[in-house]
Amino acid sequence: MGIEILQTTPLPPAVEEILQRDYQVHRLWQAPDRGALLGEVAGRVRGLVTSGSVGADRSLIEALPKLEIISSFGVGYDPIDIDCAKERGVIVTNTPDVLTDDVADIAMVLLLSVMRRIPQGDQFVRQGLWARGKFPLTDKMGGKVMGIVGLGRIGQAIARRAEPFGIEIRYFGPRRKDSVPYRYYDNLVAMAKDVDILMIACPGGKETAGIVNAAVIEALGPKGYIVNIARGSVVDEPAMVKALVEKKIAGAGLDVFANEPHVPQELLTLDNVALAPHVGSATHETRRAMGELVLKNLAAHFAGQPVLTRVV
């Protein structure tokens, strides 16, 4: 019998192939009766493969007494109960770095899309409205000030892309970083007052839940844009939707939502938003690289080596 792995969510086919070849894999999302599968295999499972969307809660981790490692597909690990993993000495790994460029690309695309009204312009052409009149003017991206919420790997990659567009960068986070030349704020309302674009790039989870609240949104003001490529949980979504409906902010470019895949109904009819279905890392190349990292972490652990990208 090989090493037994419980998998909560599908991975790219090339990665699935190797996972199936090297381990005895139990596919939880396909089980007609989740409880029955767990009852049968829980006592033998040594590895859990999950994602930054599905995660692993306390009840799942505690149901697996022999669990040694959770290898997660995605950089964000907010739906994994890290405290529980620590208590039980379970290693948790994620997939940082390999997705940074793609997520930063989507951040810039969403910013341009909402500021230049690209989805609306596309509809304008398709619906034959162009022959009847000109498309309204939009806002220039160059010359604006961007406040990045969370200047980690992805936040810095966004800054590197935004600067050549003539955007000035500032940032908010838990601490000042001496390695960057940008102005730091320890107060999010203060930064929102000073910027045109609020770029959300921080981790999700308890510490950042709702930090972009009604006061921050109000401080951003009627000419301000929000872009969120991080987690829907970081923003008070009802407050943001209200501000968009009432034109208290200029617009939003959103790849993530509080209750995916459900998107607040109001957003679907607004012309000052650009929406994406959580696709920051969703390219063939990057999803494959993420999957390979999931496999490498598992392989290292079960070969008695240190894992490559450990969270705890």
By the criterion CB under 6 A, which residues form the site for ligand 8YV? 51-53, 73-76, 99, 278, 280-281
Q: CB of 51: closest distance to ligand 8YV in angstroms?
A: 4
Question: For residue 267, what are its two tokens?
Answer: 């957003």
288 among known catalytic residues? no
Neighbour order of strands in the sheet with 69-73: 24-27, 4-7, 45-51, 69-73, 91-93
Q: How far is the CB of 104 from ligand 8YV (least distance, A)?
A: 12
Shortest Cβ distance from residue 5 to ligand 8YV (Å)? 17
Q: Which of 26, 170, 278, 301 is catalytic?
A: 278
Residue with tokens 């930090």: 211
Question: With respect to ligand 8YV, which residue has the nearer C-beta, 245 or 311?
Answer: 311
Q: Choose between 145 and 311: whose C-beta lies nearer to ligand 8YV.
A: 311
**Residue placing its CB nearer to ligand 8YV in the complex, 11 or 159:** 11
Q: What is the CA radius of gyration of the chain?
A: 21
Q: Given the complex with ligand 8YV, which of 196 and 237 has the nearer CB atom?
A: 237
The answer to whether residue 260 is catalytic is: yes
Q: How far is the CB of 280 from ligand 8YV (least distance, A)?
A: 6
Indicate if 153 belongs to the active site. no
Q: Evaluate whether 197 touches 227 at the Cβ level (below 8 Å).
A: yes
The answer to whether 285 and 14 have CB atoms below 8 angstroms apart is: no
Of residues 40, 207, 260, 266, which has the active-site annotation? 260
Check 26, 231, 287, 301 and give the catalytic one. Answer: 231
Nearer to ligand 8YV, 167 or 212 (CB): 212
Q: In the bound complex, what is the minimum distance in angstroms from residue 173's beta carbon to ligand 8YV?
A: 18
Please answer whether residues 145 and 170 qualify as being in contact, where contact means their C-beta atoms are separated by less than 8 angstroms.
Answer: yes
Tokens of 309: 């990208």
Nearest residue to ligand 8YV, scored by beta-carbon proximity: 74
Q: Which residues are catalytic?
A: 231, 260, 278
